[in-house]
Amino acid sequence: MKCLALFLAFAAPWSHAAAPDPALAGCWRATRIVLYTQDGSKAEDASGRCMLRFQDAQMESACRTSSGTATTTYRYEVVRPQVYAATMAGSSFRTEMVGSTREYEYRIDGDRLRTVTARFATEPAAPAVVPRVETEAVRTPCP
């Protein structure tokens, strides 16, 4: 599904990195992804086909699709309490977004993670192409 692929493709800036948040480390399965575009449309997916893996300064996102698995890697770091910045380092489907950076506000409540895209830092694509993304995920064992 394209909305799942878009979820993987986004990443914002940092200038003063905070200490890493060990609560982010590990794997998270997305239970709900909502994309809002500038034209007012909204796409929602609750299939659970996307997984995030946070480790050290790298994050990987992988979504199962009808044509295989879409994978995106990011360099990330916590820049302020409850905010991490992710810069896309590689992608199997959105290569034009490599090098883009985006901030995500996040909240961890037990084994639940909620993220919401924050402001843009670098934006190689047109603003209408880069949606606001909200996700809800649950901690899961890493494969």
Interatomic CA distance for residues 108 and 87, integer angstroms = 21
The whole-angstrom separation of Cα 59 and Cα 117 is 15
Count of CB atoms situated within 10 Å of the CB of 131:
22
**Structure tokens of 70?**
């879409």
- Residue 139: per-residue pLDDT: 98
The full set of domains in the chain, from first to last, is 2-140 (2.40.128.280)
Instruction: Return the biggest CA–CA distance within the chain.
Output: 40
pLDDT the model gives residue 5: 43
pLDDT at res. 12:
33
pLDDT score at 86? 92
> What pLDDT score was predicted for residue 92?
92
* Residue 9: per-residue pLDDT: 43
**For residue 130, what pLDDT is reported?**
57
> What's residue 10's pLDDT?
40
pTM: 0.77
For 31-79, how does the pLDDT look when each residue is reduced to its tens digit (9 = 90+)?
A: 999 988 878 889 999 999 999 999 989 999 999 988 899 999 999 999 9
Measure the CA–CA gap between 137 and 128, rounded to whole angstroms. 25
Q: SS3 string of 73-102?
A: EEEEEEEECCEEEEEEEEECCCHHHCCCEE
The string of DSSP codes covering 13-34 is: --SSPPPP-GGG-EEEEEEEEE
Do the beta carbons of residue 120 and residue 10 sit within 8 Å? no
Round the average pLDDT of the chain to a whole number and report it.
Answer: 82
